[in-house]
Amino acid sequence: MKKQIFAVVSIIVLIVSVPVLAQKYNFDVENVGQNCNAAYKGLLATADPALPDPFAMHDGTRITDKSEWACRRNEVKKDLEQYEIGPKPAPSTATVRATYSGSTLTVTITTKDGSINLTSTVSGSGNCVAIGMNGNAGNISGCKQIPFKHDQVVAYSMSSDSHNKNDPFYKVYPDLYGKIGKYAAWSWGISRLIDGIVLVKDQLGVDVSKIGLQGCSYAGKMALFGGALDERVTLTVVQESGGGGINSWRYSKAFTARTGTNIEKIDNTSGIWFLQSMKSQNPDKLPYDHHQLIAMIAPRATIILGNPPYEWLGDESGYKSTIAARKVWQAFGLTDYIGFDFAGGHEHCQAASSQTTNVNAFVNRFLKGQNVNTKIEANRPTVSTFVLDTTVAWSVPTLTGTYGGSPTPVDYVPTATAKSNMGLKVTAISKSALNVSFNAKNSGAVAINLYSLKGNLISSAKIQTVAGANYSHSFNASKMPTGFYLVKVSGSGFAEQARVVVP
């Protein structure tokens, strides 16, 4: 019998040795801006068919620095939860354990109300991860396939607009019954599966900085929400997602009114996948639209696939929403991190040959580290006289600074060594008091360094220590953006690192 591997999500301190070079396009946490205290915005007083400004905070100010995107995208998250999908439970509300035995990954999620298991049969090779929605991610080749079986969270159904109280999700969150749509529960399940993958990554033989999601049709929406709401996802492949996916609710309404086309829009989509209340909303009064859902993936990578001959998909709406979302990557200076291919001439969810080629380019670059051109804008659909520029009234800023570690090449990645038991503690009482305390293992000079998650050195100090004595140091973080940072303490024969949130 093969040995079973068991792990628990509770690690806060990372032990480090020497820096190594690496390429990283995702982040180490589910939500970089989780401490932003964002709130949703009320419905617009007057209907406005123009797409809302993705750079405008709810208070009316516009972001100018990349670090501010963390809180802006959390405002969009709150809007989506309020009007569209209901709340996605925070990771802090559950304990996650994972085992890997044979070819089966089992992730156990426990809350104060109960426990459920997610299981996935692992196949394939490579050190990158391909998570398909309810099956293998067929468009992501050369990676370990670890499917997300969505019925293990809430069952897929189009039979009615009712929810099943016996679905596993409601065993762990019974209070959310009747208060969420399925995309909230499914995106939560994707994140918990990723938790499990992170826990047993060494046994799986995978690099968790290389995680891809892929889905098509209703599962294309699922992949989009999953990638938008979890910043550990490196590459999101969104295939033929239609209304409720990449499409703008506003554009879909306008196209139907102008042309009489039969496309999925806010009043005829599934009320079981979304909040039932959403279907009665006037999309022109929503404080957000789905170009902002797409943009929540920024500055990570995504490629979007369409199929224009399928009228129900409403690809003209999806294309123009994608072009509007692309402006956020433009503000980051990363337009080659978002690509699209709206090729037709193939069956629903069967990728055209150009789409397979273009997805492979994104996979090779962002999941396999190859030097590949991903400036891909292929097979634009035929568009009507409903001109995009008339509904995008906002300018594109050039954002300065860095974002949560930034998905640009990383020049510092910690690697594990034996635990040093220094008792390192880092607390951020305020921006002017980021306190570091530790026990010196040996006598001599000790370096205390403060890094961004990207690995850029922000501040440093050196002190002389005596073995066994306790020491402390305080950094002034008053000019540092809110977010996650790393503190490393190293001396003769020991090194230890901890992550801290600057408020």
Q: What is the pLDDT along the chain (503 residues), one digit of tens a residue?
A: 433 433 433 322 332 332 333 468 999 999 999 888 899 999 999 999 999 999 999 999 999 999 999 999 999 999 999 999 999 999 999 999 999 999 999 999 999 999 999 999 999 999 999 999 999 999 999 999 999 999 999 998 765 556 789 999 999 999 999 999 999 999 999 999 999 999 999 999 999 999 999 999 999 999 999 999 999 999 999 999 999 999 999 999 988 777 667 888 999 887 789 998 999 999 999 999 999 999 999 999 999 999 999 988 989 899 999 999 999 999 999 999 999 999 999 999 999 999 999 999 999 999 999 989 999 999 988 766 555 555 688 999 999 988 885 454 332 233 333 345 667 777 765 666 788 888 887 888 888 888 875 567 888 888 888 888 888 888 887 777 766 677 888 877 677 777 676 76
Show the beta-strand stretches assigned E in 66-201.
Answer: 95-101, 104-111, 114-121, 129-132, 144-145
Contacts of 103-106 spanning 24+ positions with Cβ under 8 A: 105/146, 105/196, 105/197, 105/200, 105/204, 106/196
CA-CA distance, 37 to 477, in Å (whole number)?
20
Residue 185 neighbours by CB under 8 Å, 6+ apart:
153, 154, 167, 169
Helix 182-199 / helix 218-229 crossing angle, nearest 10 deg = 60
Catalytic position from the list 58, 115, 346, 348? 348
- Contact indicator for 140, 255 with CB cutoff of 8 Å: no
| Domains, the chain, with CATH or none | 22-92+128-170+178-391 (3.40.50.1820), 417-502 (2.60.40.3080)
pLDDT at site 260: 67
pLDDT at site 247: 96
Q: How many CB atoms lie within 10 A of CB 503?
A: 13
Within 13 A of 364's CA, how many CA atoms are on the CB side?
11
Beta pairing partners, 106: 99, 119
Residue 331's H or E segment, with its range, is helix 315-332
**Structure pTM?**
0.78
DSSP state of 481: P
CA-CA distance, 373 to 364, in Å (whole number)?
10
- Contact indicator for 199, 115 with CB cutoff of 8 Å: no
Scanning 24-158, the segments in alpha helix (DSSP H) are: 69-80
Could you confirm whether 452 is annotated as catalytic?
no
Residues 80, 85, 90, 94, Cα dihedral to 10°: -170
pLDDT at site 162: 65
Residue 243, both tokens: 């209304």
Q: Identity (one letter) of the amino acid at 473? A: H
pLDDT at site 37: 86
7 closest CA partner among 147, 234, 204: 204
Show the beta-strand stretches assigned E in 25-143.
Answer: 95-101, 104-111, 114-121, 129-132
Residue 312 neighbours by CB under 8 Å, 6+ apart:
242, 262, 263, 264
CA angle 343, 345, 346 (to 5 degrees): 95
DSSP state of 100: E
pLDDT at site 254: 87
Residue 429 DSSP SS3: strand
CA-CA distance, 76 to 401, in Å (whole number)?
21
pLDDT at site 10: 30
Residues 279, 281, 287, 292, Cα dihedral to 10°: 20
Residues constituting the chain: 503
Residue 328 neighbours by CB under 8 Å, 6+ apart:
54, 55, 69, 295, 298
pLDDT at site 437: 85
43 closest CA partner among 254, 185, 249: 249
- Contact indicator for 183, 153 with CB cutoff of 8 Å: no
Residue 302, both tokens: 């995504």
CA-CA distance, 467 to 206, in Å (whole number)?
38
Q: Identity (one letter) of the amino acid at 370? A: Q
Whether the bond into 19 is cis, omega within 30 of 0: no
Residue 311, both tokens: 């009228």
Q: Identity (one letter) of the amino acid at 295? A: A
Could you confirm whether 217 is annotated as catalytic?
yes
Instruction: Give per-residue burial for 399-409: e unless 16+ CB within 10 Å, then b.
Output: beebbbbbbbe
286 closest CA partner among 62, 75, 46, 39: 46
